[in-house]
Amino acid sequence: MTTRIGVLALQGAFAEHVAALRAVGAEPVEIRLPVQLEDVDGLVIPGGESTTMRRLIARWGLRQPILDLAASGAPVFGTCAGMIVLARDIVGGEEPVLPLLDVTVERNAFGRQLDSFEAELDVPLLGSTPVHAVFIRAPIIERVGPDVDVLARLPGGRIVAVRQGNVVATSFHPELAGETRFHRLVATMAAEHAEPGEGSGREPDLAGLQQRGR
Ligand code: GLN
């Protein structure tokens, strides 16, 4: 059975995530209402504007249903603004939205001169081919808690991708560069969540993921 993965479609760059999920063989489901979360095994929170997303998540009653989905063990993947939405702490003291990730993020951390840029990143979890990462008014991860794995850093050492159990987040937009390995990872985790015991147990099949490469 195809794995159904929700893409929060309130605002921002959700269409590209829909396409990336389709490309890895998952069935994307655009999420605008809580009831739509009942039938998915994972969720992607896209980039966009986190202040707007915060308002819309509250307005449409999506906060608790998303927290419940994450608590069930389903994977949640946030990119850029989506990562800010998932952070437990935000520099400057903004209230967290869905504090599922024990990190501190700083919004718009690269300032005006470096508003947008692209970089080749080493992400060992995804294999040896570097990830082409697009950063757009991107946040940076300033602090990671003890249960958080760092998946990628910029050449200067700043942390830009993390995983804490079933929650994955990137400062950048893999979906804008045709990079689908994060989506494949999330689809693999979602399939494991839907049918535990198939394959290698609770851990996703990362060896297979690495062999398949890009
Ligand atoms: N700067 C945006 C914010 O703080 C994030 C930008 C993005 O998602 N590309 O919400």
pLDDT digits (tens, 9 = 90+) for 123-135: 999 999 999 999 9
d(CA 213, CA 127): 6
Average pLDDT score over residue span 2-18: 97
Whether 132 is in the pocket of ligand 1, judged by its Cβ within 6 Å, is no
Average pLDDT score over residue span 135-149: 97
In sequence order, the 6+-apart residues with CB closer than 8 A to the CB of 168 are 75, 76, 77, 78, 151, 161, 162, 182, 185, 186
Residue 115's pLDDT band (cuts 50, 70, 90): confident
Whether 107 is in the pocket of ligand 1, judged by its Cβ within 6 Å, is yes
Distance (angstroms) between ligand 1 centre and the Cα of 50 equals 6
The domain 4-212 is placed in CATH, from the list 3.40.50.1820, 3.40.50.880, 3.40.50.10140, 3.90.1200.10, at 3.40.50.880
> What are the distances in angstroms from CA 205 to CA 198, 212, 213?
10, 11, 13
pLDDT the model gives residue 209: 54
Residue ID of nearest Cα to ligand 1 atom 2? 49
Say yes or no to pLDDT of 214 above 80.
no
Whether 193 is in the pocket of ligand 1, judged by its Cβ within 6 Å, is no
Place of tokens 């015991």: 197
pLDDT the model gives residue 205: 52
By mean pLDDT, which of 93-102, 107-116, 122-131, 182-191 is the weakest? 107-116
Q: In 163-180, which positions are buried (b, 16+ CB within 10 angstroms) versus exposed (e)?
A: bbbbbbbbbbbbbbeebb
Residue 212's pLDDT band (cuts 50, 70, 90): very low
Distance (angstroms) between ligand 1 centre and the Cα of 35 equals 27
| Average pLDDT of the chain to the nearest whole number | 92
| Spans of all domains in the chain | 4-212
Q: Indicate which atom in ligand 1 lies nearest the CA of residue 82.
A: 8
**31-88 pLDDT, tens per residue?**
999 999 999 999 999 999 999 999 999 999 999 999 999 999 999 999 999 999 999 9
